[in-house]
Amino acid sequence: MCGIVAYVGSSDRTKSVLCESLGRLEYRGYDSSGICFVENGRSRVIRSEGKLENLFTKLKDCEVTSSLGIAHTRWATHGDPSERNAHPQVSGPISVVHNGIVENYPELKKELIAAGYEFRSDTDTEVISHLIRDFTEKGNSLLESTRKTFEKIEGSYAVAVMSDKEPGKIIATRRFSPLIIARSGSECFLASDIPAILPYTREFIFLEDNDFVVLDENGVSITDAAGGDVRRDPTVVDWDPSVTEKSGYRHYMLKEIFEQPSAIFDTLRGKFTADMRKVVFEDLDPSLLRNTQRIIIAACGTSYHASLIGKYMIEEVAGVNTQVELASEFRHRNPVVGPDTLFIAVSQSGETADTSEALLKAKELGMNSIGITNVVLSKISRESDCVIATKAGPEIGVASTKSFTTQVMAFYLLSVYLAISRKAVDSKRARQLIADAISVSKLQQEALGLDEHLRELSRDFYGYRNFIYLGRGINYPVALEGALKLKEVSYIHAEGYAAGEMKHGPIALIDRNMPVVFIAPEEDVYYKKLLGNFQEVKARGGRIIFITSDRELRLPDERDRKIVIPKSSYLVSPMVSVIPVQFMAYHVANILGTDVDQPRNLAKVVTVE
Ligand code: AGP
């Protein structure tokens, strides 16, 4: 949540680099924004409430001669989204942009008020600017003052700091919030995330907790909390910069739905032996899995739904007892685990606070861990014993789409890997399972042809205020995901249920005004039962959208709609059946005119509890 960027380089690029980078970070938060340059030895801070375009309008005619600057896009935690709560937060000569939360800010604020500081915002961040100023006024350098300040701060942070008194430099540090730096020629960049600065370089240094960085015309230097020199090697990231562009699509969400076949293809690349008999995980230590008798998976949101599918896959294919936990619950309870329990943390961003805390809890409990993440060197990938990387590429739309299907594919591969290594399947079955994985890209490509059909269907359904999504077995989590997608981007109330649960309560909701979306591929082992659930809904006057691969099925009521998806094998079917529900959420939202890529109140990366 919140995105920060900083730049040191050439004065004729400062404004454009900061604005463009901020634009590529807007998915992290978008309720207010701000920027700071140093002009003639004085800070110039410009802030704006609302979307970035409001800031850009203010900056339009503003000539910038500064060769460095910091900028911020905000997702409010403390204080409403307003100009005075936007960052940079300023105290005298000090300007600070911050991503994270200062947990002990009430105590610090009290101390600072007693010392005579006046607070002009409701943010927790303002204590950081006052503290740094306080230390500089006591004769410390900006770097030293920043160090001393963060000795007092509890919580999570990635910050960049500028001062009128040391106008040629930017100081940055982090703890529990991501921060990367990069150099290209005589330019230095700093950002919360890779996509922000991807057009300028492919080599990034991922900062560690308590690294303190100075960016100035000499380049970048890193020291630790005690002032000792730190060396961090750059990592080369092979993302193509065009992946951060909309490439002709109206929204990132639509572009990312369409990118799923290639994301799956990339996730599969290099994952099989040449004879196509085995799954290969180069980074996975086989000893980690050898003694595993039980698996606990923790994740949030869409990643949680992918994990629920993972449970079906692992139990069905490899026969290993698996349980899935909401990371926000797992981190606060006392689970019973044994030495043979493996923990899997699943997160697109690799930075979600609840999931990374759940991982830390698992480690405290002595569990071995695997991280399934989409971002190299993210917190979860660094803290897990082994990593399975999904290769979705940057996902900019706040609503996850391609990260869901690549996570499901990662679980599929893991279940086949486990099954083969435990001899739970014979070689014929193993080859079939691998062939089914390879078939997914093509099947998805076919399902993408449903775009126009779903656009037209959405025109018929966008007026309803409630929806129910139903599925069974491996497609039950797809029902949950379909409901989440619709809620997130269209603000329509939707609930996903296991179809068998209907009769235990939710069926009371069914009437003419409650459309029910069935996720019912014919290959689903519960298909006949789903047809029974269909009749139950019909008997109560419900209107149905039936997503199925059963071409022959006739729906007698013309108010109902059938969406035909390509037939696949049961275990890979969620990677295909989810495409229509993604399209439907997208098109309904578009008709309703919501902000599809940046829905209200949400942020792409949730780094707060
Ligand atoms: C999905 O559309 C959401 N935006 C959200 O539920 C997301 O999946 C969740 O916050 C977890 O994020 P992560 O995968 O980066 O950990």
Q: Point out the catalytic residue in the list 379, 487, 562, 604.
A: 604
pLDDT for position 160: 98
Percent of the chain with pLDDT strictly greater than 70: 100
Q: Catalogue the E-assigned strands of 340-481.
A: 341-347, 368-373, 386-389, 466-471
**Ligand 1: which residue has its CA nearest to atom 7?**
301
Is the pLDDT reported for residue 39 higher than 90?
no
Name the residue of 28, 395, 400, 403 whose CB sits within 8 Å of the most ligand 1 atoms, as the mutation to test its pocket: 400
CA dist list (Å): 400 to 253, 333, 456, 588: 8, 27, 23, 16
Is the pLDDT reported for residue 598 higher than 90?
no
Structure-token pair, residue 353: 């606070």
Nearest to 348 by CA among 305, 385, 386, 293: 305
Residues 354 and 328 sit within 8 Å (Cβ to Cβ) = yes
- Any residues with CB less than 8 A from the CB of 166 and at least 6 apart, and which? 141, 142
Ligand 1: which atom is nearest the Cα of residue 398?
Answer: 4
Nearest to 209 by CA among 143, 157, 161: 157
pLDDT for position 242: 72
Q: Point out the catalytic residue in the list 2, 19, 36, 300.
A: 2
Mean pLDDT of 412-421: 96
Provide the 8-state DSSP code for 229.
B
Å from CA of 79 to ligand 1 middle: 24
What order of strands is seen across the sheet that includes strand 42-49? 42-49, 32-39, 68-74, 3-8, 187-191, 180-184, 203-206, 235-236
* Cα 368 from Cα 382, distance rounded (Å): 14
Residues 436 and 563 sit within 8 Å (Cβ to Cβ) = no
Q: Name residue 470's beta-bridge partners.
A: 497, 518
pLDDT for position 54: 94
Residues 131-156 pLDDT 10s: 999 999 999 999 999 999 999 999 98
Is the pLDDT reported for residue 244 higher than 80?
no
| pLDDT: which is higher, 101 or 524 | 101
Residues 568 and 435 sit within 8 Å (Cβ to Cβ) = no
* Cα 347 from Cα 298, distance rounded (Å): 9
What is this structure's pTM? 0.84
* Cα 581 from Cα 597, distance rounded (Å): 16
**Ligand 1: which residue has its CA nearest to atom 6?**
301
Å from CA of 223 to ligand 1 middle: 33
| pLDDT: which is higher, 290 or 281 | 281
Residues 231 and 222 sit within 8 Å (Cβ to Cβ) = yes
Residue 328 CB less than 6 A away from ligand 1: no
| Residue 501 pLDDT level (bands cut at 50, 70, 90) | very high
Mean pLDDT of 260-285: 92
Nearest to 9 by CA among 64, 72, 90: 64
Mean pLDDT of 465-480: 97
Q: Burial of 116 by CB count in 10 Å (0-12 exposed, 13-18 middle, 19+ buried)?
A: exposed
| Residue 409 pLDDT level (bands cut at 50, 70, 90) | very high
Residues 606 and 354 sit within 8 Å (Cβ to Cβ) = yes
Is the pLDDT reported for residue 411 higher than 90?
yes
* Cα 317 from Cα 433, distance rounded (Å): 9
* Cα 198 from Cα 214, distance rounded (Å): 21
Residue 309 CB less than 6 A away from ligand 1: no
Is the pLDDT reported for residue 29 higher than 80?
no
* Cα 202 from Cα 204, distance rounded (Å): 6
pLDDT for position 470: 96
Q: What is the DSSP string of 475-541?
A: GHHHHHHHHHHHHHHH--EEEEEEGGGGGGTGGGG-STT-EEEEE--TTSTTHHHHHHHHHHHHTTT
pLDDT for position 376: 79
Å from CA of 144 to ligand 1 middle: 37
| Residue 268 pLDDT level (bands cut at 50, 70, 90) | very high
Most confident stretch, 126-130, 240-244, 285-289:
126-130
Torsion of CA 510, 516, 522, 528, to 10 degrees: 0
Helix (H) or strand (E) holding 223: strand 219-223
Task: Please give the single-letter amino acid code of residue 239.
Answer: W
| pLDDT: which is higher, 102 or 38 | 102
Name the residue with tokens 């634009």. Answer: 23
| pLDDT: which is higher, 373 or 603 | 373
pLDDT for position 287: 83
Q: Name residue 149's beta-bridge partners.
A: none
Residue 329 CA, distance from chain mean position:
19
Q: Is 2 among the catalytic positions? A: yes
Mean pLDDT, all residues of the chain: 93
Residues 489 and 583 sit within 8 Å (Cβ to Cβ) = no
pLDDT for position 427: 94
Name the residue of 302, 405, 491 whose CB sits within 8 Å of the most ligand 1 atoms, as the mutation to test its pocket: 302
Mean pLDDT of 486-512: 93
Percent of the chain with pLDDT strictly greater than 90: 78
pLDDT for position 588: 98
Residues 318-335 pLDDT 10s: 999 999 999 999 999 999
Ligand 1: which atom is nearest the Cα of residue 300?
Answer: 11
Name the residue with tokens 């309870």. Answer: 333
pLDDT for position 30: 78
pLDDT for position 228: 95
Nearest to 129 by CA among 171, 168, 97: 97
- Backbone dihedral region of 417: left (phi > 0), alpha (psi from -120 to 50 degrees) or beta? alpha
Most confident stretch, 52-56, 61-65, 79-83:
52-56
pLDDT for position 79: 82
Residue 488 CB less than 6 A away from ligand 1: yes
Residues 97 and 72 sit within 8 Å (Cβ to Cβ) = yes
* Cα 182 from Cα 187, distance rounded (Å): 8
| Residue 397 pLDDT level (bands cut at 50, 70, 90) | very high
Length of the chain: 609
* Cα 590 from Cα 491, distance rounded (Å): 11
Residue 355 CB less than 6 A away from ligand 1: yes
* Cα 330 from Cα 365, distance rounded (Å): 12
Mean pLDDT of 238-252: 82
Residues 318 and 342 sit within 8 Å (Cβ to Cβ) = no
pLDDT for position 607: 77
